[in-house]
Structure 1
Amino acid sequence: MSTAGAHTQHPEHTPGASVRRTREKGEPRFPDGPKADPAGSHFERRIRSFQPRRSRVTAGQEEALQRLWPRWGFDVDGRQRLDLAEFFGNDRPVVLEIGFGMGEATARMAAADPGTNILAVDVHTPGQGHLLGLADQHGLDNVRVGNGDAIILLREMLTPDALGGLRVYFPDPWPKKRHHKRRLIQPAFLDLAAARLAPGATVHCATDWEPYAQQMLEVLTAHPGFENTVADGGFTPRPQFRPLTRFEGQGLDKGHVVNDLIFRRVPHADQPADRAGGDHGADRPEDRDAAGT
């Protein structure tokens, strides 16, 4: 992919300031950056598990989007299959992270584990710009940033067994009962995730909403494609490799209880158990922590 030239910052823009530009009617917000609705009307509408957030983009975030998106970003449009080895430039295991917020935790995990590639997907434009900026600042060439619906990414753009791991940290809990159908961790989602995760790959979820944590535990335990890495079949203590985020810290200060779950993709029916792990995700932090080493 070609790299766009650096965006020229207007003199009145200061670091951290909100960007306010007058655009012509129909002009895209970021000509070389993430699109507002990349999948458009190409796929059937479904109940979405996320709520797009429309917050202001700072000058620094805009600069990162304009300069780095053509190199490290992609739109989840569902129109092509991703060759992950080509996309990252190597054949290291790839972990999909769904919903990364502002990207601080993602960047820290990428820096701590350079042998793992992170495919980070969100719909929050300021967070996309911030994560790109962090990756550039710290020289993290193992991060790629996706814009759009992770369901379309999994269903249309990834091949079977493509992933060495899946991370879903603090998804929207949709606390009202009538909205529970919008929660991401549901049996149908796990069916799709299981088809894209290599045997031995891990699913790691974390939430500070206890009723949702219990639902996650129930549906993961019931799914035949996964097994709990905790011997007693419950939650796992927060592993050291998952950074304590600002959001999580605020929740803990308010007395919220944070629960982590780490489940492993079981071998396919036609694959011997001793060959299930293969080379996918070998010696990942998730595996070391789950094994208690």
Structure 2
Amino acid sequence: MLKMKGLVIGLAVAAVISGKAFAGKTDMPESLVIQSLISNTDDNAVIETNGYIYVKAKYEMGGGDSIDTAKKGATAKAIELILGMKDQKAQHYTDIFKKMKAGESDASTFVFTSQNLVSLGVITEQKLLKTLEDKLKDREYSVIIKAVYQPIEGSGDPLFFIDASMSKSFYIENEAVQIRINVQKTGFLYVFSISDDGIVYPVYPHNYTKPGQNVIDAGKEFKLPTKEDMSKGINYIASIPVGQTSAYEYLKIIVADKANLFTGAKTYEDLNKWLTRLKRDEFEYVDLGYVIHKPK
């Protein structure tokens, strides 16, 4: 989560997924799907059936991690695996741009980078079906997630590129957070944080932002907090929710060609449904992942 002027603003993103996965599209009862995932020996596994994606993801617990931390870490990995399942080979941005320009890429193409996660589709429903705690003695914790994945209509603009980063991927609680964003096409900037329980909080524009001030210019680096924010004493601080020892969250950065979008989105699913109402060439976005730990 993120604190601004004493107000808590959620911020969200997860660790980059590791391990391998199998992806199969078939039709089978949900109980059999769950049993198949449990019996699969891979750390991470996926089955697509009956309009849903089912995924098993494992989290390796550190010495100070609680069960709650492990559950959220495994869930974060599951989300990233769902977003990336259509492309089982990680690809760099430059490869995707070449394919898009050549007309060889469509909405089933996904991209992983070291910190930015980009997909051409979104998760509109998500449900935790089962936790697997039988290997806690080995400090391993797994979850099984059921989700609905929806591609976004149309093809993206290959020149509409966002390069975004945070000052760190791993924060100690109360550390300052800075965000840098560069775009190749001028648009309106929207930054949201999604807490690890799926609640959406606006990070930028916020209540102190003037109307229309969220324009981001092509070729000019945009920094958060802005100079105007800092002049008002506004800074972003990494904060862990009460009762937790760590947090795994998503920061969603969207650049669109329209102002005043995404009003009223309260959950991760709400925000993703907003995105599906837009045409794919009307916006671009990236998800940035980070983890917050309490000081040792």
Using the size of structure 2 for normalisation, the TM-score is 0.31
More helix as a share of residues:
1
Using the size of structure 1 for normalisation, the TM-score is 0.31
More strand as a share of residues:
2
Structure possessing the higher relative contact order (Cα contacts under 8 Å, 6 or more residues apart): 2
